[in-house]
Amino acid sequence: MSSYLSRRALMRRALAGGTALCMGRTSFAGSNRRAGVPASEGKRNGTGGASQVESLIQLLEETPRDQVLEAVGEKILEGASYLDVLAALLLAGVREVQPRPTVGYKFHAVLAVISYHLIGEGLSERDRWLPVFWGIDYFKVAQASDAAEGDWKLDAVDEAAMPSAEDAGPALVEAMDRWDELSADRAAATVARRLKPESAFELFYPLGARDFRSIGHKAIFVMCAQRTLRLVGWEHAEPILRSLAYALLMHEGGNPANRDDLADRPWRRNEGLVSRIRDDWTDGRPSSEATTELLAVLRSGSYEDAADAVIERLDQAVSPSSVWDAIFCGAAELQLRLPNIVSLHAVTTTRAIHHAYQTTGRDQTRRLLLLQNAAMLPMFRDAAKQRGRLRDAPLEDLEPIAPEVSDEAAVREIFDDLADKRRVAAQKILGYLQSRRPARLLVEGIRRLVAVKGDGTHDFKFTSAARESFRHVSTAWRGRYLACGAMHFCGPHQRENAVVARTRAALGP
């Protein structure tokens, strides 16, 4: 027990170290162009100003569902910017919707906000509003659900009990380690006010991945918070970080700090393994063979086996990119084995953890996230298996069906097969990409379909995660990765969601 506590103390110092040097307010507005938002959308502090955003929040909170899209449309026509609306949607969600009893369900009003943006950002000026307006409509559903469950609100923070600026980072980590909600809330508010965004999220990246409760939604919330704040501006951070800390402390039963729950074991074990990874672990060579070997472990091994296999490959000088190929493809393969809500979240969680892995500046955090994501996949597999029988369907065995028609016709065939021949569609996606047909034509078609056909938060979350992860998988595995998404992608046979017509009418010709 003493060695375990020692490791925890080392982790706390590593996470909190240096944050006192990073105090002060800052804005992510300078990243708008990189994020795909037109420069005209980004004001000096990200959005058009606190009063405009607050006005939109009140409108979202108070307007009935059957009138809210039209009311927001009027505001846009009067000059409200895209980022104003995006900020208001996220802030209304964290103020009005409780991330309990689990971080999911109605709380997708918050979790899916970044996915709406990612789906819409490549569409036309008018159509990029479609996913956001769908999210506005869903917010009203979630708000009503929350009201029926007790009408939770994010209360004002206890100003008198907040830690000092110098103690904000350590106080947050200590409170989260104790699973102490009141102390964590006060510390999160101080972090938002006094730390730079980069330093703040260095605290949250490990916390989002440290346990398996809520099948990955905690890591997804960390990604959503970080990426949306990067767009709309850090001045909106306080309620978002407070909601984030509260969500990350979701648990069932007694205090997890005093228990040995399965949900916590992989992280606790992995904390003791990171020192076994060689110092120059990022300098390895790509190895498709290592990817294949790791996939075999992920299919049948335990979470311990998965983490140990990753360390073994890294110590053999295998590139982390080949490890990630196995993780991405292991998550995707679950769709072929048993497409359900649990296996879907293996894909969305992997994208969220990989984003944290890409963004963190701490080597120890990066090591932990890599091990943790690998360890989580056997847990996703076993959780999915509780809802049905897993097929024996290695994605390496998926037989490609090469197209015999033009690029456009081949893509139409793939989408038509999504109606009732999804495995055939998967084979055709693989054949299309292996034939070196233009990937953009296919991937952008997937985006356009979900924008008008998507009628559930998971449609947007899954599609945005799969599209982004596709770019991070190596060429040798990329086609097989995307092919697995055919089990969930929207198709042209699906009815256009009811929000599309209202959105277009609200925004005018």
Q: 367 and 274 in contact (C-beta within 8 Å)?
A: yes
Distance (Å, whole) CA 472 – CA 359? 14
**Within 13 Å of residue 301, how many CA atoms lie on the same side as its CB?**
19
| CA–CA–CA angle 237, 467, 418 (5° rounding) | 130
**What local confidence, expressed as pLDDT, does residue 508 receive?**
86
Among all chains, which residue has been given the structure tokens 């009201």?
147
Say what the pLDDT of residue 128 is: 96
**pLDDT classification of 18: cutoffs 50, 70, 90:** very low
Inter-residue long-range contacts of 56-63, CB under 8 Å, 24+ positions, other chains counted: 56/80, 56/84, 56/85, 56/87, 56/88, 57/88, 57/91, 57/92, 57/95, 59/88, 60/88, 60/89, 60/92, 60/136, 60/139, 60/140, 61/92, 61/95, 61/96, 61/143
Of 6-20, 72-86, 112-126, 233-247, the range with the lowest mean pLDDT is 6-20
Nearest to 354 by CA among 332, 343, 370: 370
pLDDT-based confidence at residue 48 (cuts at 50, 70, 90): low
Exposed / middle / buried, residue 214 (Cβ in 10 Å: 0-12, 13-18, 19+)? buried
DSSP 166-197: TTHHHHHHHHHHHT-HHHHHHHHHHHHHHB-H
Q: Which residue has the higher pLDDT, 18 or 440?
A: 440
- Residue 389: pLDDT over 60: yes
Confidence of residue 177 (pLDDT cuts 50, 70, 90): very high
CA distance 4 to 16: 18
Q: What residue type is 494 in one-letter code?
A: Q
pLDDT over threshold 50, residue 158: yes
Q: Which residues lie below 8 Å from residue 482, measured CB to CB, with a gap of 6+?
A: 429, 433, 442, 443, 466, 470
Convert the pLDDT of each residue in 311-357 to its tens digit: 999 999 999 999 999 999 999 999 999 999 999 999 999 999 999 99
Taking only the tens place, the pLDDT of each residue in 421-448 is 999 999 999 999 999 999 999 999 999 9
Mapped onto helix, strand or coil, the DSSP state of residue 318 is strand
pLDDT band at 46 (very low <50, low <70, confident <90, very high): low
Buried/exposed code over 23-62 (b: 16+ C-beta within 10 A; e: otherwise): eeebbbbeebeeeebeeebbbebbbbbeebbebbbebbbe
For helices 341-359 and 363-385, give the axis angle rounded to 10 degrees: 180
Greatest pairwise CA separation for the chain in angstroms: 70
pLDDT at 28 over 50: no
Does 141 have pLDDT greater than 80?
yes
Instruction: Give the predicted TM-score (pTM) of the model.
Output: 0.92
Res. 114: pLDDT tops 50: yes
Task: Tell me the per-residue pLDDT of 354-388, one tens digit each, with 9 for 90 and over.
Answer: 999 999 999 999 999 999 999 999 999 999 999 99
Please give the structure tokens belonging to residue 431: 């054949």
Retrieve residue 10's tokens: 């080392």
Ranges 29-43, 95-109, 178-192: which has the least confidence: 29-43
Residue with tokens 């009063």: 51
User: Cβ–Cβ contacts within 10 Å for residue 9, how many?
Assistant: 11
3: pLDDT strictly greater than 60: no
Mean per-residue pLDDT, 243-270: 97
pLDDT-derived band at 7, boundaries 50, 70, 90: very low
Q: Are 433 and 477 in contact (CB under 8 A)?
A: no
Partners of 285 in the beta sheet?
318
Residue 33: pLDDT band with limits 50, 70, 90: very low
Give the pLDDT confidence score for residue 77 in this predicted structure: 96
* Phi, psi values for residue 180, rounded to 5°: -100, 105
Which one is predicted more confidently, 25 or 69?
69
Mean per-residue pLDDT, 186-210: 98
Residue 29 — very low, low, confident or very high, per pLDDT cuts 50/70/90?
Answer: very low
Residue 5 has a pLDDT of 38
Residue 502, number of CB atoms within 10 A of its CB: 18
Contacts of 5 (CB under 8 A, 6+ apart): none
Residue 23 β-bridge partners: 195
Angstrom distance (rounded) from CA 85 to CA 129: 10
| Chain centroid, CA 272 distance in Å | 26
pLDDT given at position 47: 66
pLDDT at 50: 76
Which stretch of 31-45, 294-308, 321-335 has the lowest confidence by average pLDDT? 31-45
Q: By percentage, how much of the chain surpasses pLDDT 70?
A: 90
Confidence band for 19, pLDDT divided at 50, 70 and 90: very low
pLDDT confidence of residue 20: 39
Break the chain into its structural domains and give their ranges: 11-28+159-256, 40-148, 270-328+342-385, 398-487
pLDDT at 230: 98
Q: Taking 50 as the threshold, does the pLDDT of residue 467 lie above it?
A: yes
pLDDT value of position 509: 77
CA angle in degrees (0–180, nearest 5) for 50-52-55 = 105
Count of all residues that appear for the chain in the document: 509
List Cβ neighbours of 397 (8 Å cut-off, separation of 6 or more): none
pLDDT of 8 above 70: no
CA distance 109 to 93: 6
Whether residue 367 contacts residue 276, with contact meaning beta carbons closer than 8 Å, is answered with no
Average pLDDT over residues 209-221: 98
